[in-house]
Chain A
Amino acid sequence: MSQILSVVLNIALAVHVALIAVCVWRVWRGENVIDRLIGADLVGTLMLAVLVLLALILVNATYIDVATGLAALGFVSTIALAKYIADQQMF
């Protein structure tokens, strides 16, 4: 059973890394600025998923701490960028 789990985890990791590549391509060739912002936010979320999968593969809970920090930073930075785009000023 644990062998199946290991195979499934590795496949999921590969799929998520491929999805990150697709999202980076969308940020590169976005239609407008909001489209690119959504792409950047999605890259952050998928990176979170990769960190959680690494915590599962390496059986090390420290990666969850890293993921928590990344989630908090990504939340603040996305909202700050959205406010900057809407108002053309930061504060």
Chain B
Amino acid sequence: MQTLLQLIAILAVILGTVFSVLGVLGFIRLPDVYTRLHATGKVSIFGVVLLLLATVMLTPLGFGKGLVLIALLVIGGPATSHAIGSAAHRIGIPMKRAIRDDLGALEQNQAGE
């Protein structure tokens, strides 16, 4: 039983580390602010939650604390991404390689009326 839990924990730690590396790689490679937000949201949703799952399995005292922290991250992560993206759109940071922009078209219509 103990060995099985440790095996699952090892897999979770390796997967979480891989997703953290992928998130930072995307943060460097992707072209503009909005696409980078997708990559960094993944670090907090996948990377830290998988590490916390390993913690929940291995340390007996960290069970409730780990679950509360997972809930906090899953509820708070999208709110942070939305706040940054909304601020970027408000101060007018352009999108690169965009193929459509419904929100920008709406604001241009309102300005024209």
Contact = CB atoms under 8 A, between A and B. Distances in A.
A64 B105 CA distance: 46
A58 B92 CA distance: 46
B interface residue count range (under 10 / 10 to 19 / 20 to 34 / 35 or more): 35 or more
Contact of A86 (B10, B33, B52, B86): B86
Contacts of A9: 13
Of the candidates A35, A56, A68, the one having the most CB atoms from chain B within 10 angstroms of its own CB is A56
A5 to B, nearest CB: 5
A64 to B, nearest CB: 4
B3 A49 contact: no
27 contacts: A1-B3, A5-B10, A8-B10, A12-B13, A12-B17, A15-B17, A16-B20, A22-B24, A38-B36, A38-B40, A41-B40, A42-B43, A45-B44, A45-B47, A46-B24, A49-B16, A52-B48, A53-B13, A56-B54, A59-B59, A64-B62, A68-B68, A78-B83, A79-B80, A79-B83, A83-B83, A85-B87
